[in-house]
Structures are given as structure tokens and as C-alpha cells.
Structure 1
Amino acid sequence: MRIISLVPSITEALFDLGLTTDEIVGRTKFCIHPKDVVDKVEMIGGTKNLNLDKIKSLKPDFIIANKEENTKEQVEELMKDFKVLVTNVETLEDNYYLLKQLGHLFGKEEKAQFFNLKTYEAFDIIKSGKRLKVAYLIWKNPYMTVGGDTFISRILDELGFENLFKNQKRYLEIQLEDLKDADLIFLSSEPFPFKEKHIDEIKEVCQNQKIRIVDGEAFSWYGTHLAKCGEYYRDLLTKINQ
């Protein structure tokens, strides 16, 4: 079977489940895991600007897309000629069923179950008694954060935090003054690559908040990636609770 993945985290999941470059024939430029094999797979553009002609030339039997990460119009265009699975992952439960579905589709049920179990182990964490309010920033100029209906917010909740903007929806622009009610400010390493220098800029306004750079992949990549983040989550919580 010839498969094209339009979703970075799903590309990683397919390889983790045991598929090979003989089966995965196309991926986006943002599909960077696993690092040792993705370079061998043909690139078909970005998640939101797919090269449809390139995809058609690869003659896939199956294409995997995502409701949020890909553009509806482009996915619908591909549906005219190919079998397309459109995924939608908003919770850990959704992630469980995604892996179960991929395992069933490609005859990798045992591997899928393994990663599902490892994912639940990753979140089997002793959380602090107090739910700290967290503002999770994903962008600068303008500053942007996540609402309560996002996958990132669900991961924050699973780790025992409270999203300061849980009553807002999707991705919203904010001012630094809006962060003053937070206990913690997380600066994500992606999609905007926040660095230590940005902490000093934010501290000029948010002087009473703890500010930390966090691994964006650990909060926004679903599929099998979460199963590998247990140690990271535990280390993060330990440092915050010190």
C-alpha cells in the first residue's frame, strides 16, 4: 500500500507502528520525526499548502489528513481522486482511538496497543494539590495563546494545570497585561520558537509570574509522540513544584 501523510504527528506514528518507506511515499516538510528515516520520503509541500500535482504523481492508495492541520478545500480536492482519512484529535481519548484505528487499518494492532498503554503511563503522574493557572503562549507579534477547546489545553489539564484562557476558544491574540492572573507562563518552542531572551521581555510586564520555555511537541503532537513524553512531564512537574 502507498500512503501519504499530511500530518507530522501521524507520519511519526505510522513509522512507530512499523510501516516503512516502501509504504509511506509522501509527507509534508513539517514531518520531522523519526529523524533517521523521514528524509527518505518524498516531500509534498506544507500542511496548509500542499502540492496537489506532486501528490497525484505519487499515486497513493491512501492519504491521511487532519481537520485542523490541513486546509478543507485541498483535502476535498484530493477526495475526488483518492481515499482520504480525515482525523480529528482533541482529547487523549481521541488519541487512543486514532492509534487503534491506524493499527487496525495497517495490521499493527499490537504496536498500537503498546503505544496506547505507554501514553496512559506517561500521564500517570502525581500532580500537585493546587491547580496552577497557566498561560500557554504559541506566538509572538502578536502574542497568541490557546483556548480551552484545543488539544494543548487538554494536555495542560491532564497534567494538573488550569488553562488561564479555558473559557476562550481556539487560538486568540492577547496582551501581556492579560497574563497577570497566571501563576505560570509557558512559552512553547513551536510554532514560534520562543527563546530565553523572550522571557526577559515578558518579565518587564509580568513580574510576579514564573516563566518557562516548554517543549511544544510534548503539548501539541498527538499519535505515538505522547507515549515518549512521560519522563519530560515528570521532570517538568518536579521543577515547577520545587
Structure 2
Amino acid sequence: MPPRVVSLVPSVTETLVAWDRAPVACTRFCEQPDIEAVGGTKRPRIDRIVALAPDLVIMNDEENRRADADALTAAGLRLHVASPRAVADVPAVLAELAAAVAAPTPEPWAPPEVPAAPIGTAFVPIWVRPWMTINSETYGASVLAAAGWASAWADDDVRYPEVTVSDVRARRPDIVLAPTEPWAFTGDDLDDLSERFGVPAMLVDGQDLFWWGVRTARAVDRLRRGLAGARPSLDPGRPQRRGGTSAV
């Protein structure tokens, strides 16, 4: 019999539902209205989770806090930590997750090879006040790399560096990729972003960039196709378009 699971990781919740292993509870960020929410990823309701008496609580060492993990462990609950750092880690992490929840072994999937030289560089703003982006050590940057592109801040020492408009213009990225989360960019922001940073801007699904799991293979393919569709606006032989492109 499958274990009773509480998932405190939105991408894990999405994956468990797709595997017919829906958790008994999840976070309010998991976008599963039919499943009980037990708080957020950073402040889960520990007492309620304990009262549900799950066989397993699934966490991620970046999305969840150590203090909450310690509190759940102290309450006698068993934890499973699922924390891929890159697209290449996803198949093994999914196989371990499937074993933990008694789900069928996922179909084999080979992550795409990252090209030796990226097609182009992208500024990926994940926050606005202040402007923040991603370096190469983040999962989002690995999705971008798997699609053949690189973060304009790939070489930064900080995983989520703060930047200024002048910094971005000085680095001269080929495109601004505006994700729908964690900052909720929309198509209405594209013209402003393009004007502000001086390059075309494209809206992308933030879940494709930052959620991993059953969506990963399709997410990489969607991003690759979306960026391929943006190539005419990046051709130096053509006038640059302002905003308007979307891969969501």
C-alpha cells in the first residue's frame, strides 16, 4: 500500500499527482485546491502535519527550512529530501522519489547534452526590488543551459545575485527572459523590460524554469522551442523588436 505523504515541495506535489500518488497534504503554493494545504514552504503548520500522521514528509533543502525539518524529525516523522541541483540530477532524484512513495519506476529519460558554446545569453530577472537573477549553480540556469542558452550571470559567485539596470546593460545579454514566478511578470511587462534593458524580452513559464519533476523534459523542450522562435528578433541583421514574444 502506498505511504501517506505530505509534500512541502510544489514540484514534488505536481509529480506525485501525475503518478497517482497524491499527498494527503501539501503547501498553499502547490496549486492543488483539492488537497489540504498546511501552510507555505517556509512556514508549514507543523502541528497539523504531525496530526495527519503521515508515513513520509517530502522536503527540499532550498525551499524548506532546516528548523522545520528538525521539528518534524523531533516529532517522530520520517523525511525524504528531494533536491536536484541541475537537470542532469532529475532522473535519479525521481527514481528515488518513486521508490519512497511506492510508485512505478519512471520511464528512462536522458537529459540533453549541454552544448560547448551557448547559442546566446539571457538575463533572467527573478525579482524586481531589487533586481535579482541566477548564476550557473541554480536549477533554473541548468534548464536554460539544457535549452542551449546561458544566464548572463552564469559566472557570478553568488547563486542569486542582486544587479542594477546598468549592470545588465553592461553585460549586453541577447534577451531578457521574464518568468511568471517567483516575480509574477506578465506579457504587459515585456515592452518596459525591453526598453529598460535595451534588448528583446520574452515571457516564459516560471514553473518550467524552476519546478522540476515530471515536467522537466517537456519544460526544456518548450524553452528551446520558444527561444528558437525568438531568433528573428535577435538577428543582428534585423531591426530588434520590442517585447511581445511569449513562450508560456
TM-score with structure 2 setting the length: 0.83
How do 1:90-129 and structure 2 match up within 5 A? 90-110=85-105, 112=106, 114=107, 116-117=108-109, 120=111, 123=112
Cα separation, 1, equivalents of 2:194 and 2:130: 17
Cα separation, 2, equivalents of 1:52 and 1:136: 34
Change (3 A) 1:93 1:200: closer
Cα separation, 2, equivalents of 1:92 and 1:204: 32
Q: Deviations over 1:95-154 (max 9, x none)?
A: 1111111222233233x1x2x42x74xx589x8x86201111111121111112100011
Q: Which residue of the partner structure matches residue 235 of structure 1?
A: 225
Structure 1: 5+ residue runs without aligned partners? Answer: 33-37
Cα separation, 1, equivalents of 2:177 and 2:28: 26
Q: Which residue of the partner structure matches residue 2 of structure 1?
A: 4
Specify which of 217, 230, 241 is matched with residue 207 of structure 2. Answer: 217
> What amino acid maps onto 2:130 in structure 1?
P
TM-fit CA distance, 1:176: 1.2
Q: Which has the higher strand share?
A: 1
Cα separation, 2, equivalents of 1:233 and 1:196: 16
How do 1:160-239 and structure 2 match up within 5 A? 160-168=148-156, 169-180=158-169, 181-207=172-198, 209-229=199-219, 232-239=222-229
Residue identity (%): 26
Change (3 A) 1:235 1:159: closer
Equivalent pair of 2:82/2:93 in contact (CA under 8 Å): yes
Q: Secondary structure at the match of 1:212?
A: strand
Change (3 A) 1:25 1:225: same
Change (3 A) 1:158 1:140: same
How do 1:43-122 and structure 2 match up within 5 A? 43-80=37-74, 81-110=76-105, 112=106, 114=107, 116-117=108-109, 120=111
Equivalent pair of 2:144/2:223 in contact (CA under 8 Å): no
Change (3 A) 1:230 1:141: closer
How do 1:132-143 and structure 2 match up within 5 A? 132-143=120-131
Cα separation, 2, equivalents of 1:97 and 1:200: 40
Q: Secondary structure at the match of 2:125?
A: strand
Cα separation, 2, equivalents of 1:107 and 1:74: 25
Change (3 A) 1:66 1:130: closer
Change (3 A) 1:130 1:39: closer
Q: Root-mean-square deviation (CA), in Å?
A: 2.2
Equivalent pair of 1:189/1:195 in contact (CA under 8 Å): yes
> What amino acid maps onto 2:33 in structure 1?
D
Q: Secondary structure at the match of 1:138?
A: coil
Q: Which residue of the partner structure matches residue 35 of structure 1?
A: none
Change (3 A) 1:233 1:197: closer
Change (3 A) 1:238 1:229: same
> What amino acid maps onto 2:223 in structure 1?
Y
Equivalent pair of 2:208/2:220 in contact (CA under 8 Å): no
Equivalent pair of 1:67/1:86 in contact (CA under 8 Å): yes
TM-fit CA distance, 1:30: 0.5
1:30 is the counterpart of 2:29 = yes
Q: Deviations over 1:181-203 (max 9, x none)?
A: 11111111101111233233333
Q: Secondary structure at the match of 2:43?
A: coil
The structure whose RCO (Cα within 8 Å, separation 6+) is larger is 1
> What amino acid maps onto 1:236 in structure 2?
G
Q: Secondary structure at the match of 2:124?
A: strand
Structure 2: 5+ residue runs without aligned partners? Answer: 233-248
